[in-house]
């Protein structure tokens, strides 16, 4: 069973405020400061994470998640290994197939069908892992070709690779290739893209897919969830109803999803312990807007 750790995702508009946020996250006991990867109003993740790491001592930095289609895997492997070297081994590489169609429209990139994007991601991760390892890489795939390339620099240690998914295809890929598997509630992406049908995730079913696909290496995998909706409150029923009304779903669906955490500090601690016992979820990510309210939970559970 993996020990609990916690990540926080947030952003600031300039260096001083961004580094202040990084130091605050470190001081509150969060394991990792994380950034997504979009072309909208956000910092470019890799240089920003480098700056955050330089302002802290132990805080890890990571991506949730880089869009594979934005970077060639050879260049990404070099960038990731360089950040890992420059941070003394504190980098976590989250990478995905891309889902936000607006990014592709803004940039003029072709938004291929999901199967194509996932296949491209699978090849990319294999190349990146090979370039992190010793010796040259030759890869002749459908989407990428690499010939006798020895990656440089090499990471300080093993750069953990995170792949998240909500459905069988991505969860299977993550289980086979990733060190950290994120269990996503796809309803947030579906709502963001205006999908007419919303599919809330069932964590037990997702973990079963990961377990089956991972086989003997399942116990080595760290299971992660992004708690996208958190409310530390002594009135959980009222909070659940308010969230359900906002999302046009039921309070029961809100309270049963692993991507929601609602309740007092004590009850959320108990919920997280139960979810780890039931599903193995031990790496919990939250948004920066609730990092202060969530800090007592981090203090109670980190490392246990």
pLDDT, tens digit, 9 for 90 and up, residues 97-137: 999 999 999 999 999 999 999 999 999 999 999 999 999 99
CA distances from 48 to 9, 21, 34, 190, 302 (A): 12, 12, 10, 28, 25
Please check whether the domain covering 5-228+265-301 is classified as CATH 3.20.20.30.
yes
User: Where do we find the tokens 């997280």?
Assistant: 272
**What are φ and ψ of residue 58, in 5° steps?**
-120, -15
* pTM flag (> 0.85): yes
CA atoms in the 13 A half-sphere facing the CB of 126: 18
Delimit the domains of the chain by residue range.
5-228+265-301
Question: What CA–CA distance (Å, rounded) separates 25 from 287?
Answer: 11
Asked whether residue 141 carries a pLDDT value surpassing 80, the answer given is: yes
| 287 pLDDT more than 70 | yes
Residue 182: pLDDT band by 50, 70, 90 thresholds?
A: very high
């Amino acid at each position: 069973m993996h020990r609990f750790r916690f990540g926080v995702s947030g952003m600031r508009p300039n260096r001083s405020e961004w580094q202040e946020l990084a130091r605050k996250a470190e001081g509150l006991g969060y394991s990792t400061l994380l950034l997504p990867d979009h072309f909208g109003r956000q910092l470019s993740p890799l240089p920003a994470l480098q700056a955050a790491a330089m302002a802290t001592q132990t805080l890890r930095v990571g991506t949730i998640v880089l869009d594979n289609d934005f970077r060639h895997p050879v260049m990404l492997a070099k960038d990731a290994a360089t950040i890992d070297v420059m941070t003394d081994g504190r980098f976590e590489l989250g990478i995905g197939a891309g889902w936000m169609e607006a990014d592709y429209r803004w940039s003029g990139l072709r938004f291929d069908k999901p199967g194509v994007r996932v296949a491209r991601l699978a090849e990319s991760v294999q190349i990146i892992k090979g370039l992190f390892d010793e010796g040259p890489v030759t890869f002749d795939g459908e989407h990428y070709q690499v010939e006798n390339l020895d990656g440089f620099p090499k990471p300080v240690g093993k750069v953990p690779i995170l792949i998240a998914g909500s459905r069988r295809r991505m969860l299977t890929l993550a289980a086979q290739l990733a060190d950290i598997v994120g269990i996503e509630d796809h309803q947030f992406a579906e709502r963001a893209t205006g999908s007419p049908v919303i599919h809330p995730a069932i964590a037990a079913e997702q973990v079963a897919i990961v377990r089956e696909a991972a086989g003997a290496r399942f116990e080595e995998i760290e299971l992660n969830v992004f708690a996208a909706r958190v409310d530390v409150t002594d009135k959980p029923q009222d909070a659940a109803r308010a969230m359900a009304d906002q999302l046009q779903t039921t309070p029961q669906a809100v309270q049963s999803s692993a991507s929601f955490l609602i309740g007092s500090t004590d009850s959320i601690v108990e919920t997280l312990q139960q979810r780890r016992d039931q599903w193995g979820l031990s790496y919990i990510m939250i948004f920066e807007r609730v990092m202060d309210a969530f800090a007592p939970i981090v203090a109670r559970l980190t490392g246990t």
